[in-house]
Amino acid sequence: MTLWGIAFKNFWQNRRRYMAYVASAAFSVMIYFLYTALVLHPQLQEGYRGAIEAVQGMKAASVVIAVFTLLFLLYSNSAFFRSRMKEFGMLSLLGVSKRQLIRIILWESLCIGSLAMVIGLALGLLFVKLFFMGVSVLMGLSEQIPFYAGRPVWIQTIAVFGAFFIVVSLASLRTVLSKNIIELVRAAGQPKETPHFSRWKAILGLLLLVVGYGWACAPNPMLVVLGAIPVTFIVSIGTYLLMREGSMAGLDFLHRREWFFYRQAPFLTVSQLIHKIQENYRVLTAVAILVAVILTAIGTIASLFVVYVRDAVKTTPHAIQLVLSEPGELDLAANRITQVLAENNVTDFHYTQMTFFRAEIDGNSRGVTVIPYSLYQSIRAGRNVPVTLSDKNEAVLITMYAFLTEGDTVQREEVLKVGTRQVPLQVHPAINAQPVNADRYLSYFLCVPDALFEELIIQASKESLLYIAIWDVVDWNSKEMWMAVTQLRELYPEYEFTATAENYRSSLLELGMLFFIGFFVSLVFLAACCSLLYFRLFTEIDDNRRYYLQLEKVGVSDRELKKLTWHQSLILFFTPFIAGLIHSTFAMQALGTLLNRTVLQFGWAVALGYLVLYGAFYLVMYAIYWRSLRVTRLAEI
């Protein structure tokens, strides 16, 4: 057999090990290709609304994918070649020279790289149209972004990943050549020792997690922001320590509980887990952290999505609103708007017109818009009124989330200044209970008792008066409304004219796009996780075959072996997922503090989605693994 024959045979024998690696690398190539196609799309460079943000987002995402993929490839490849040291040792024992060995390794890893590239590009080309369709829908484009996969896209993808595969091949050469191979052949035959563990390290790991989690639960937004980086660091180290020392301590505890341990399933499973912890814990840590990153990132995007889209409706409660400072202009404009609405078949609306004034209070440098309490109540009819006033000298200060600072959530004494008059008030805080559509100018509202309002408005200067017209429409998101809003936008600037539909749609677009981009990146991460675990399973398949054969000889039945494999692989796969889920839960708790509301449920909803995906991956891998294990079982009887 020629040298190439041997090399090919090696590759072929290891094909199952490579499978997940190639699949996950190909997936990265595909996603990178899709993003690049969009980033370099000639028609997106100018033109479409929201395209610039989307392109910027994709650009950033493709850099993240590239960097992550490089790290993943480097790690996996070195793990591969390390697991095959013995084989390379045998080759050199058989008289294969160092130069020949170098050529075998280089060719093998380059071939695998090219395979991943070809598959990735093919899939990318296949899906690019679908991808553009998705983007078009998200951007709310009337016509679809045309197909594009020009030469620059191919060149960029091939250049980036080609360079990666070459770097990775060279790195794998280093892995193999840096060791004295003959020694490794010998070392591989030695039995591995039962791992020991340090109780102190386990306690330290636990302590780090407690500190990290505690910090994440801090009620103060400032503290949470300050903690973002140190907590990530602390929790990562804590995970690393706990995955080895912590699981060892736990398993050791179970090992010593005789009533628990001396039963079939724990007896075999716990002892195997202890036996393999040394090889497993790094991968488990890496996967746990990756899962935490995925769940937190997507959970955050999902939360922002829900919060902002919901806020868009809350901060613009009125379908259409016009704010002017001249009373005469308002009537004219109102007629025009009503006419445009009628042209678009929107006739079923409720019209309100009122006058407010701007004033100042000590605690707020932006100034507040003063409105009568009864109006506030009537405008919010049907919705709950967060605070009721009982005394003449009380007021409600309404703040938008976006402008929320710490002082805005406590009840306090304030002095309202109108003209020359100063009114001391007991101010109650309220959040996002906007009586009218808010914007940068109309962001704080002070509701005062009606009698007080009547007194003050007379004393207010003419420039501080605001004339507001409101059109309430039940079906504010209808097609007709959207047509009308689009037309009206041409007529009035943003500080005069606001519409619920517009605010809602732009939030939807921005965060929807972010979600879309983030989701594909997270899939790249998830594929890497699964590939790491898959590879871990397959590295020790020879060991496991021997182990199963041993058990079978002693009379463990097929069904029991299957159950055993199922338990062990289940633990291997889902321990890191659960760890990552717990991490991300605390991260979501911290995010909740920043957003001033509970977002845990969104985090868990996202986690559930990923659990399904991850579970599906697991089932496929388990099936492949079990089939590979069976190959050399006792003669089928």
Partner 1 sequence: MLVLEAHGLTKIYDSRGKVKTRALDNFSFQVHEGEFIGIMGPSGSGKTTLLNLLATIDRPTSGTIRLDGVDTSQLKGDQLALFRRRRLGFVFQDYNLIDSLTIGENIILPLVLDRLPLKEIKARQADVAAILGLSDLLQKYPYEVSGGQQQRTAAARAIIHKPAIVLADEPTGNLDSRAARQLMETFTQLNAAAETTITMVTHDPFAASFCRRILFIRDGRFYSEIQRGESRQAFFQQILDVLSLIGGGNNDSMGHRF
Residue from 5, 189, 191, 328 touching partner 1 (CB under 8 A): that is: 191
- Answer left, alpha or beta for residue 364, where phi above 0 means left and psi between -120 and 50 means alpha: beta
User: What is the Cα–Cα distance from 408 to 5, expressed in whole angstroms?
Assistant: 75
**Least gap, CB of 259 to partner 1 (angstroms):** 6
Longest dimension (CA), the chain: 103
Residue from 441, 547, 604, 626 touching partner 1 (CB under 8 A): that is: 547
**Least gap, CB of 555 to partner 1 (angstroms):** 3
Q: Of the ranges 238-246, 463-471, 556-564, 611-619, which one interacts with partner 1 (CB under 8 A)?
A: 556-564
- Position 272 contacts partner 1 (CB under 8 A): yes
Angle (nearest 5°) at CA 409 between 403 and 413: 110
How many residues lie near partner 1 (CB under 8 A)?
A: 30
User: What is the Cα–Cα distance from 495 to 438, expressed in whole angstroms?
Assistant: 10
Q: Which helix (H) or strand (E) holds 150?
A: none
Both tokens of 391, joined, read 């005394």
Residue from 15, 263, 366, 383 touching partner 1 (CB under 8 A): that is: 263
Residue from 5, 142, 553, 631 touching partner 1 (CB under 8 A): that is: 553
**Least gap, CB of 150 to partner 1 (angstroms):** 53
What lies within 8 Å, CB to CB, of 590 at 6+ separation is 216, 217, 218, 224, 227, 228, 231
- Position 626 contacts partner 1 (CB under 8 A): no
- Position 10 contacts partner 1 (CB under 8 A): no
Cβ(526)–Cβ(324) below 8 Å: no
| Closer by beta carbon to partner 1, 219 or else 555 | 555
Cβ(479)–Cβ(463) below 8 Å: no
**Least gap, CB of 598 to partner 1 (angstroms):** 45
- Position 264 contacts partner 1 (CB under 8 A): yes
Q: Which of 423, 316, 310, 320 is nearest to 362 (CA)?
A: 423
Residue from 46, 143, 193, 490 touching partner 1 (CB under 8 A): that is: 193
- Answer left, alpha or beta for residue 382, where phi above 0 means left and psi between -120 and 50 means alpha: left
Strand partners, 399: 431, 444
- Position 635 contacts partner 1 (CB under 8 A): yes
Tally Cβ neighbours within 10 Å of residue 176.
21
DSSP character at residue 96: -
Footprint on residues 273-302 left by partner 1 (CB under 8 A): 274-276
Question: What phi and psi, each to the nearest 5 degrees, are found at residue 522?
Answer: -65, -30
Residue from 141, 185, 556, 600 touching partner 1 (CB under 8 A): that is: 556
Residue from 97, 335, 557, 601 touching partner 1 (CB under 8 A): that is: 557
Both tokens of 122, joined, read 């093919």
- Position 554 contacts partner 1 (CB under 8 A): yes
| Closer by beta carbon to partner 1, 86 or else 380 | 86
**Least gap, CB of 177 to partner 1 (angstroms):** 30
Strand partners, 470: 321, 352
Both tokens of 243, joined, read 């995955």
Q: Of the ranges 103-111, 518-526, 543-551, 572-580, which one interacts with partner 1 (CB under 8 A)?
A: 543-551
Residue from 178, 189, 196, 259 touching partner 1 (CB under 8 A): that is: 259
- Position 631 contacts partner 1 (CB under 8 A): no
- Position 632 contacts partner 1 (CB under 8 A): no
- Position 351 contacts partner 1 (CB under 8 A): no
| Closer by beta carbon to partner 1, 136 or else 272 | 272
- Position 540 contacts partner 1 (CB under 8 A): no
| Closer by beta carbon to partner 1, 127 or else 626 | 626
**Least gap, CB of 627 to partner 1 (angstroms):** 18
Residue from 551, 571, 582, 624 touching partner 1 (CB under 8 A): that is: 551
Residue 424 burial (C-beta neighbours within 10 Å; 0-12, 13-18, 19+): exposed
- Position 578 contacts partner 1 (CB under 8 A): no
**Least gap, CB of 284 to partner 1 (angstroms):** 18
Helices (H), 351-464: 373-379, 450-459
**Terminal-residue alpha carbon distance, the chain:** 36
- Position 219 contacts partner 1 (CB under 8 A): no
What DSSP string runs through 216-266?
HT-S-HHHHHHHHHHHHHHHHHHHHHIIIIIHHHHHHHHHH-HHHHSSHHH
**Least gap, CB of 106 to partner 1 (angstroms):** 35
| Closer by beta carbon to partner 1, 53 or else 552 | 552
Helix, strand, coil share of the chain (percent; to 5): 70, 10, 20
- Position 82 contacts partner 1 (CB under 8 A): no
| Single-letter amino acid code for the residue at 550 | Q
User: What is the Cα–Cα distance from 202 to 535, expressed in whole angstroms?
Assistant: 27
- Position 188 contacts partner 1 (CB under 8 A): no
**Least gap, CB of 631 to partner 1 (angstroms):** 16
| Contacts with partner 1, residue ranges (CB under 8 A) | 191-194, 258-259, 262-264, 267, 271-272, 274-276, 547, 550-560, 634-635, 637
